[in-house]
Structure formats: C-alpha cells, structure tokens
Amino acid sequence: MELLTLGFLLFCIVLVIIYYLVPKTMQWWVLLAASLYFYAMSGIKNMIYVLITALSTYAATRMIQSLTDRQKEWIKANKKTTSKEERAAYKAHIQAKRRAILVAALLLNFGILCTFKYLHFLIAQVNTVISSFGASPINDTLKLIIPLGISFYTFQTMGYLVDVYWNKCPAEKNFGRVLLFVSFFPQMTQGPISNYKDLTTELFKEHTFTYHHFSWGAQRMFWGFFKKMVVANVLSAYVQDVFANYASYSGITTLIGAFMYSVQIYADFSGYMDMMCGFCEVLDIRLTENFERPYFSKSIAEYWRRWHSSLGAWFKTYVYYPMAMVKWNQRLGRWSKQKLGKTFGQTVPASVALVVVWLTTGLWHGASWAYIAWGGVNGIFIIVSLWMETVYASWKQKLGINEASWGWRAFQTIRTFILVTFIKVLPEVGTLSDGFGLWKQIFTNHTIPRSFHALLPFVDKKMPLLAVMIGTILIFVTSLIQRRQPIRQWLEDHTNYAVRILIFAVLFIVIVYFGYPASGNGGGFMYEQF
C-alpha cells in the first residue's frame, strides 16, 4: 500500500474509528489486523517471511524463557542438596542450550535477510575471485525481491531475542502480540527500530482518545507530508539528474546537487517519521523518535546519535557493547595500554568495536562496496576523533577558542554538515568509483557557470525550485524553534485556533499544488530500499 495516496488516508481514518470504538483490551487486535492487511497489500508472499520471523522468534524466546525458568526452579529446589560446582555445571548446561537456541534463531532470521539482501552481492564477489583464477563464474539466475521492511523488522525482532536471552525482558506468551511487535505497520517499512519493552508498553496499554493527541498527531502528519512531497520528492528529481550527469556538470553545480541530496534525504526520512509518529500519536501510541535535528550536530559522532538514532541505539546495544566487552578485545586493550600508552591504548577496544559497527552499518544500508566504504569513512572519522580528542583539546586551549561561543558552535555545525554531506553522497551515485568521481568533480572542475541555467541545469519548470527553497527554509526555521520547545507547542502559544486551522488548510493546498507525486520519479521513500 502506497503511503501517499487517498487509499492510505482512508485506511488510517477507518483504522482510527474502529480502534477507538472497540473495547480497550481489543485495540491491539485491531492494530494487528490492520498491520497484516497493510503488509498483505504489498504482496501475500512477503507475509510468509514476516510470519517465519515472528514464529521463529516466538518459539526461540519461549524456549529460552522456559530454560531460564527451569534453571531458576531447579536451583531453588536443589539449593540445599547440591554443591556450588553442581549448580554451576547445571547453569552452564542450560546456558549452552539457551545459546544454541539463540544462535539457531539468529542464523535463521539473519539467514533470510542475508539471502534476500546479500546473496547477489556475495555471488558477484565470489565470481570476481574465481574468474581471476580462470574458473567459470557461478550463474546467478535467482531473482530475489527483497520483502518490504525486512531489514527493519529482522533487526527489531533479533533485538528482542537477545533481550530475552540477556534476561532484560521476559518472553511474550501470546503469539499475536509478538506478531504485532514484528509487523506493526507504521514502523515496519522504515523503522524506527524499537526495543520490545518500549514498543509493547505503548502497544498494549489502554488507549483513550484525546483531542490533544488527535490535533497534535494530525499536525505532525501534515508536516511530514509537506517535507516528503514538497521538498524531498522535488529535490529527488534534481538530485537524480546531478548524480546521473555529474561528469558533465561543473564542480559548483555538483556541490549544490550534493547539498540538495542532504536536504532531500532528511526531508524524505524525517518526513516519513513525522507522518508515522503523528499517526501513532492519534492512536495514543508514542513511537521512538529517530531524529533530533541532526544537521545541528557538532561532530559526526553526535550526528549519528541524532540521525536514525534507533538504528544507532540498536548497533550500540547489540554490536558495539558486546564487541567492546568481548574477552579478546579487552585483552587487546590491556596490551595496547602497555605498548602504546594509556591514553591511546584505552581507546583501542572501542575503536575495534567501532570498526565492526560501521562496516556492518554500511552493509545494513546496502549490499555494495560503496555502502561498505560509506560505513568505513564514517567509522574512520569517528575513530580518529576519538584518538585525537586530547590533541584537539590542547589545540583549542592554545588557540584560545571558547567552545561555548556562538561562532565556534556555528563553525562546528557547518563543518559537520559539509562532512556529512560528502560522506552521504558516496554510495548514492552508483558504484564506489562513481562516488569518488563525484568528489573529484567537485574539487577539480572549477568552471564558473555563466547563467542560472548553467548553474542549475536540472531545474525543471514543472518542479518549482522556489517552493523547495521556501520549504527548506521552513524546515530550518522549525528546527531552530524546536531547540527551545516543540513546534506544535510554539504554534499553540503564538496562534489561536482559527489561525492554526488556516495555516494547515494553506499547508494542505501547498502540499497538493507543489507536492511532486509519489509514484514514478522520486516515488517511494528512500529508506524503504534499505
């Protein structure tokens, strides 16, 4: 089901009405039915993978939980009659079983994800290697279509599985509830990747309709539609043109295209989040926030805490910490401290974990060397910043830089935005060499365009540049206001009811008139592909 259609709007309206009409204890069943319907609309075949993921996760967590319970009961019953060694042996025995179940479930679900997402890439790499030895390549005839949202729901469910394994939350007894956790439609296609405890607390509480939730939710949905249709979709057409023809454009034109891409991807992804978070707010469900004005970050590490933060949190919890704490890495840390000095040595375990995190983050975004390189470049910036932290501090002290000053903060923000933009475009142009080619074009082609058309040759009369520029400024201004208070609160404080109605009616007309259609060029959401 496409989100930017009247059909989806109707679906939302019907859902809200039924949701608040049924008894509160039944509300989550309505959400489950709606989610399955939404997913079935994208293809019944895709449902099979959701069901496999939900079923395997349910079965594995139940088994892990039952082993945990059995262990507790056994220890309780046999505490007085068994020795410490016997109890430890029993615990180890149960732990081995739990681990085996966890590994099997992870392998199954990541296996499905890897098959759909990485098999073609893997075969291509194997073919490159075996061809260099003169062997005939593997015939890749499989035509696999990646199921909708598989990267998101696989990560979400695997987080739940590990949480149960770590005893951070008990396993859910009701399969329907697990299925809803896996398939909850507002976040299934593009996240946020929520943890089980947070999402289920919201999903399974009793929800009461309030005017405040309705009005704030609807306002946020409007804003999301505006970002997506008026800004992101129009910019998408421009950016695609720049990426396809960068070799024939001047460096300045290519640079403008790269900055446009930064605005586009933010408007696209955060627009989706606004639509979905707004809709969930109408349903009295609070989703994990994925964005916190990321382009106001002062470093790349901070940027990644504020951009797609639910993915960052997932990697931090389930990859970074385990990697940083794993025994061999801790030993490496101790060795590094002795050999390389305390200051540098203590950053080594974190750096190793960051390398793993960023390469896997790259792979999560796409099966290509360009994405792996993109992850690698992000990782390099963050690791180098970590290593250089003390050096930077001494430089700043020597230069007398006041870190709290407006000028320094502005410099940091602009610098981070420029860096982030350059990194972002790397995998988006096509191949890795195309990405580097675009960088080269920016830095080496110093042709000065002599006319507006030469500067922005991709601007089409049908797609209004002025509307996009005003839209971008509006997004910037609202972000500035949001530093102090939520924009909707600001609107309530500074305008009356009639003015707000008028503002949103105008916004509606602007979306319809200037919004670029969802299908075709600039169609679906960018993060759907991940």
Partner 1 sequence: MNNFKSAIRTCIIFLIVLTILSAAIMSAFFAGENYYYQDSRERAELSGTLDFFVCGASHAMRGFRPDIIDEELGVNSYNLSCSRQTMQGRYELLKLELNRNPAKTVVLELSYDSMTRNRDEEGPEGDIYMLGKLGGFMPRVKYFFSAVRPKEYGRMYYNYLDNGVNCIKKIIHGTWKDKNTKLEKGYAAYKRDDDELNQDLKQIYHTRSFEETIYEPNVDYLNKIIALCKEKNVQLILVTTPLSKVTVCRYDNLDTFREWYENAAKENGLQYYDFNLIKDKEEKLPDSSAFSDKFHLGNKGAGTFTKMFTDVLNKEAAGENTSDLFYSSYSELEAHMSLDK
Minimum distance, C-beta of residue 224 to partner 1, in the bound complex (Å): 17
Among 100, 340, 477, 512, binds partner 1 (CB under 8 A): 512
Residue 104 and residue 274: Cα distance in Å, rounded? 36
Q: Give the Cα separation of 110 and 119 in Å (integer).
A: 12
Identify which range of 263-271, 335-343, 452-460, 496-504 contacts partner 1 by CB under 8 A. Answer: 496-504
Judged by CB under 8 A, the stretch of 82-90, 211-219, 301-309, 386-394 that binds partner 1 is 211-219
Could you tell me the smallest distance in angstroms from the CB atom of residue 501 to partner 1? 5
Our finding on whether 209 is near partner 1 (CB under 8 A) is yes
| Distance between start and end Cα atoms, the chain | 18
* Closer Cβ to partner 1, 3 or 199, answer by number: 3
Of 502, 520, 521, 529, which one interacts with partner 1 (CB under 8 A)? 502
- Tell which residue, 131, 148, 141, 123, has the closest CA to residue 49: 148
The pair phi, psi for residue 14, each rounded to 5°, is: -60, -45
Smaller CB distance to partner 1: residue 52 or 505?
A: 505
Q: Which of 215, 299, 360, 413 is in the footprint of partner 1 by CB under 8 A?
A: 215
Is-contact 151 193, C-beta < 8 A? no
> Among 261, 228, 310, which residue's Cα sits nearest to residue 427?
261
Spatial separation of the C-alpha atoms in residues 376 and 360, rounded to whole Å: 9
Our CB check for partner 1 shows the closer of 414 and 505 to be 505
**Whose structure tokens read 């993109």?**
374
* Residue 418: CB atoms within 10 Å: 14
* Cα–Cα distance measured from residue 161 to residue 517, given in angstroms and rounded to the nearest whole number: 39
504 binds partner 1 (CB under 8 A): yes
- Which of 43, 489, 505, 521 binds partner 1 (CB under 8 A)? It is 505
Q: What tokens were used for 161?
A: 């599985």
Rounded least distance, CB 219 to partner 1, Å = 11
Q: Burial of 464 by CB count in 10 Å (0-12 exposed, 13-18 middle, 19+ buried)? A: middle
Site map 453..492 versus partner 1, x via CB under 8 A:
----------------------------------------
Q: How far apart are CA 64 and CA 101, in angstroms?
A: 7
Q: Should residue 509 be labelled a site residue for partner 1 when binding is judged by CB under 8 A? A: yes
Task: Calculate the CA 293 to chain-centre distance.
Answer: 14
Contact flag: residue 506 with partner 1 (CB under 8 A): yes
User: What are the distances in angstroms from CA 88 to CA 66, 76, 79, 101, 337?
Assistant: 18, 13, 11, 20, 34
Q: Does 399 bind partner 1 (CB under 8 A)?
A: no
Of 211, 404, 406, 493, the one binding partner 1 by CB under 8 A = 211
Helices and strands in the chain, H and E counts = 24, 0
Could you tell me how many residues of this chain bind partner 1 (CB under 8 A)? 18
> Is position 43 an interface residue for partner 1 (rule: CB under 8 A)?
no
Q: Between residues 209 and 335, which has the closer beta carbon with respect to partner 1? A: 209
307 torsion bin: left (phi>0), alpha (psi -120 to 50), beta (else): beta
What is the DSSP track for 332-351?
HHHHHHHHH-HHHHTTHHHH
- Binding part of the chain for partner 1, among 50-58, 299-307, 441-449, 504-512 by CB under 8 A, reads 504-512
Question: What are the residue ranges of helices labelled H in 426-455?
Answer: 432-444, 452-455
248 exposure class (CB count in 10 Å sphere: 0-12, 13-18, 19+): exposed
Q: Closest separation between CB of residue 523 and partner 1, Å? A: 15
Nearer to partner 1, 41 or 119 (CB): 41
How far apart are CB 465 and partner 1 at their closest, in Å? 16
Q: Which residue number, 13 or 480, has a Cβ lying nearer to partner 1?
A: 13
Return the range that interacts with partner 1 (CB under 8 A); candidates 100-108, 203-211, 409-417, 478-486: 203-211
Among 33, 501, 520, 529, binds partner 1 (CB under 8 A): 501
Q: Is 210 in the site for partner 1 (CB under 8 A)?
A: yes
Cα–Cα distance for residue pair 304/372, rounded to 1 Å? 16
Q: Where are the alpha helices (DSSP H) in 42-184?
A: 44-78, 84-132, 150-165, 175-183
Nearer CB in complex with partner 1: 8/408:
8
Q: Which stretch binds partner 1 (CB under 8 A): 107-115, 342-350, 375-383, 509-517?
A: 509-517
Interface region with partner 1, contact rule CB under 8 A, candidates 30-38, 380-388, 484-492, 497-505: 497-505
Residues 1-30 that bind partner 1 (CB under 8 A): 5-7, 20
The residue (of 3 and 357) whose beta carbon lies closer to partner 1 is: 3
Segment near partner 1 (CB under 8 A); pick from 164-172, 187-195, 355-363, 501-509: 501-509
- Which residues here bind partner 1, judged by CB under 8 A? 5-7, 20, 209-211, 214-215, 501-502, 504-506, 508-509, 512-513
